[in-house]
Structure 1
Amino acid sequence: MTETIDEIRIERAQGIGFIALNRPKALNALSTPMLHAIHRALGAWRDDASVHAVVVYSPHPRAFCAGGDIRFLYQSAKAGERAVIDEFFTDEYRLNHAIFTYPKPYIALLNGVVMGGGMGISQGAQHTGGVRVVTGSTKMAMPETRIGLFPDVGVSWFLARTPGAIGRYLAATGATIDAADALYAGLADAYMDDEARPALVDTLKEKSFASGAEVVRFIEAEARRDAGKASELERDRVLIDKHFASGNGAACLKSLESVTSGAESEWAAHTAAELRERSPLSVDVSLELVDRAKSSSMAETLRRDLGLTRATFDHGDVMEGIRARIVDKDNQPAWKVTRMEDVTREEVLRMFDSPWAERDHPLAALAD
């Protein structure tokens, strides 16, 4: 099968299903047609014995995928189209779950920008026996607290399983990490130079493979386990664990701002300043989300994410965050709670109240 829409190309070659993201002007941000096309392909290949593995990639150098179509969601919310927003996130999270539970190796080649929804369609590869390959250009993040959202698409499950407090740190700050950091944090499995990636795709389309495991072994042999440079996350790990191991955003800030001298003062001041720019409510929601994900299944995590999207659009900061960061670009968001120290536990817990009874949840059928 070959399916081509303006934003994506789906094809089969040599026992591999290929999904090429093709929306470069939007850095391959995921639209509803893209979500549907990927899900259809995975469904068609799932029980097809002639398809051994799936490869998702971008033929464009700037980005694998910058996330979901935030402008579309903003415009839908402005128009009062709640059902449209619910449908987008429901479709996206169903796809994330289908990837996480896929019975064949799912392989993600992660060059350039890999953020938000791009993490959602790639991180699950690890759970399928597949591989996540990063490159020298990889810029990975869940930057949602910058726009009043939270690390959704099930990524809190993966953040909760990173070393020490790295997951809480990344969720709260939205910090961007490179290939070396991703490998250290367990958010990537192998490294490849950017220049070698197109040739790998070409070879995969020409070489014959007898199984998905053979495809994975071939890619791992072509790649390597390190990025050829030190990880800044590893370098800063002691500080991250010290300041982000527990507590809410205010507690993390208090810890950071108590450092006024010594070797760690510059890092602490920079990190505190980053946190001060984020939505205080979103920071606390994100920290709570990662903590809950530690003892949750992926299905539970995605159901929680869907409820949080409704709450965030109804009485959170996301509309103001998108306006300030993406639409008007004045970078002056007027957060509903202006200071991290003023966020109450009640406000955070309210965000986690599901608008659906358990049996009526749009993702009730998901199971791990």
Structure 2
Amino acid sequence: MPQEAPSASQADPHVVARVANRIGLIELERPQALNALSTGMVRAMLAALERWRDDADVLAVVVRSRHARAFCAGGDIRFLHTSYRAGDQAALDTFFADEYRLNHAIFTYPKPYIAFMNGVVMGGGMGISQGAYRTGGLRVVGASTRMAMPETRIGFFPDVGMGWFLVRTPGAIGRYLAVSGETFDAASALYTGLADVYLDEAAWPALIDALETESFATSEDIVAYLRRVAATGAQMRNAIDTCALAGSREWIDRHFSQADVPAIAASLAAAQREAEGPEREWAGQILDVLRERSPLSMAVSLEVVSRAEGAMADVLRRDLDLTRSSFARGDAMEGIRARIIDKDNRPVWRFARIEDVPASEVESMFESPWTVADHPLRDLQE
């Protein structure tokens, strides 16, 4: 079958979108930025998905990176920082609205969407992979996979609809991941339900070749083939059972089920003083992590997860609202400056201590700058 080329208006040099053997392939090609998403990349991916949505000759979609270091490290944070400093609010609104439309398109896609999640999978990288869960597709991980929503480190929050997924992880794990921004590996991803299958990455190139040459009658045949190839053996099942998040699950549930971030910090501090053995050390380590994060962002992030029980469309609209407040009166600009631009790692957060953040300030961050009728994502539906 001849391969399809995007039109000039849809093309982006960092995205290759083609059809081979009735499979739509989206390949990210921006290795120098760990495949961080630009507005052009987001639009190219969305255009490809829209072309293939009702095309009977496309049975499924595969998204991947050809580069070992990263599937996708997130959005182009430097661009956002530069745009805001220049007073170009429209550039930020356009990027986030387009990105969240892409996230929603993946989440509601009528065909299996399959994400090969190697290397760094963070922020926006989670946004273009997690929706596979709802499509009958697969989230494939390997030994190099490192996943996170690390936004509280830069004064932001877990966006791209990730609140919807985090609130549905076991126990208080979603609250823990949102607030701490900690990184986790493939086994922990499988344990939390944020990945579906594990496959040795040495086998990925041959598998992609097979997808382009094997005979598949239906989209279900493609997914079944991948599941057979990635059948989980005893060694991987043991790795899942003994992963870091499984090992600390009892402590996570105990401390991160507290009502708010100050209560979480107080619970951890008490364990650091009074607990015995490994929990004491773990509590001290996590408390140190929280003291480095933005207090306002941690409070907002916990609330993001708490409010994410409903529809994905509502979660994404709320995320867009929060992008405005996070840049205008939150810690995003200072966090990006300290961690990414100047790299001095000395952010001056708006509130110095976890205990200093008023509940009223957290609530005000969720106020939308748009009415229901003029919200940029008003047309999103489940």
Q: TM-score normalised by the shorter chain: which range applies? A: over 0.9
Paired residue type of 1:309:
T
For residue 183 of structure 1, report the CA deviation from its aligned partner: 0.3
Query: Mapping of 1:17-166 within 5 angstroms?
Result: 17-166=24-173
Task: Tell me the SS of whatever aligns to 1:206.
Answer: coil
1:67–1:118 contact (8 Å) kept in structure 2? yes
Q: Deviations over 1:15-52 (max 9, x none)?
A: 10000000000000001111011000000000000100
Distance 1:28 1:110 in 2: 12
Which amino acid in the other structure matches residue 52 of structure 2? W
1:6-25 → structure 2 map (5 Å cutoff): 6-25=13-32
Structure 2 Cα separation of the partners of residues 233 and 224 of structure 1 = 22
- What stretches of structure 2 of length at least 5 have no aligned partner? none
The one of 2, 5, 21 equivalent to 2:5 is 2
- Is the contact made by 1:136 and 1:227 (CA closer than 8 Å) also made in structure 2? no
- Name the SS of the counterpart of 2:259 in structure 1: coil
Instruction: Give the CA deviation at 1:159.
Output: 0.2
**Counterparts of 1:220-235 in structure 2 under 5 Å?**
220-225=227-232, 226=236, 229=239, 230-235=242-247
1:93 & 1:227 partners in 2: Cα distance?
A: 34
Q: Secondary structure at the match of 2:212?
A: helix
**Equivalent in 169, 174, 187 of residue 180 of structure 1:** 187
SS at match of 1:28: coil
Give SS of 1:2's match.
coil
Deviation track 1:263-287 (CA, whole Å, cap 9, x = no partner) reads 2100000000000000000000000
Q: Among residues 265, 268, 271, which one is paired with 2:283 in the alignment?
A: 268
Q: Distance in 2 between matches of 1:242 and 1:128?
A: 33
Cα drift, residue 208 of structure 1: 2.0
Q: CA offsets per residue over residues 60-107 of structure 1, 9 Å max, x none?
A: 000000000000000000100001100000000000000000000000
TM-score, scaled to structure 1: 0.98
Measured in 2, the distance between the counterparts of 1:279 and 1:363 equals 28
Write the distance in 1 (CA, Å) between the matches of 2:282 and 2:67: 34
Shift of residue 57 of structure 1?
Answer: 0.4
Using the TM superposition, name which of 115-124 and 197-206 deviates more: 197-206
Aligned to 1:245: 257
Q: Does 1:353 align with 2:356?
A: no
SS in 2 for 1:360: coil
Contact 1:191 1:227 survives alignment (8 Å): no
Q: CA deviation at 1:227?
A: 6.3
Once residues 325 and 18 of structure 2 are traced to their aligned partners in structure 1, the CA distance between those partners, rounded to angstroms, is 38
Counterpart-to-counterpart distance in 2, 1:102 and 1:340: 40
1:190 aligned residue (197, 203, 214):
197
- Partners in 1 of 2:209 and 2:120 — Cα distance? 22
- Residue 169 of structure 1 aligns to a residue whose secondary structure is helix
1:257 corresponding residue in structure 2: 269
Tell me the CA shift for residue 171 of structure 1: 0.1
CA distance in 2, matches of 1:246, 1:21: 40
User: Structure 1, residues 156-214: CA drift from partner, whole Å, max 9, x if none?
Assistant: 10000000000000000000000000000000000011111111111111112111111
Match of 1:310 in 2: 324
Deviation at 1:228, TM superposition (A): 5.5
Contact 1:179 1:227 in 2 (8 A): no
Backbone CA RMSD of aligned residues: 0.9
Q: Could you state the TM-score of these two structures normalised by the residue count of structure 2?
A: 0.95
Unaligned runs of 5+ in 1: none
Partner residue of 1:277 out of 292, 311, 323: 292
1:267-346 matches, cutoff 5 A: 267-294=282-309, 296-346=310-360
| One-letter amino acid of the counterpart of residue 317, structure 1 | D
For residues 211 and 177 of structure 1, the distance between their equivalents in structure 2, rounded to whole angstroms, comes to 34
Query: Structure 1 CA distance, aligned partners of 2:91 and 2:15?
Result: 22
2:228 aligned partner, one-letter code: A
Matched AA of 2:281: E
Q: Write the distance in 2 (CA, Å) between the matches of 1:205 and 1:127.
A: 24
Distance 1:30 1:323 in 2: 19
CA gap 1:206/1:66 in 2 versus in 1, 3 angstroms: same
Partners of 2:73 and 2:129 in 1: CA distance: 12
SS in 2 for 1:242: helix
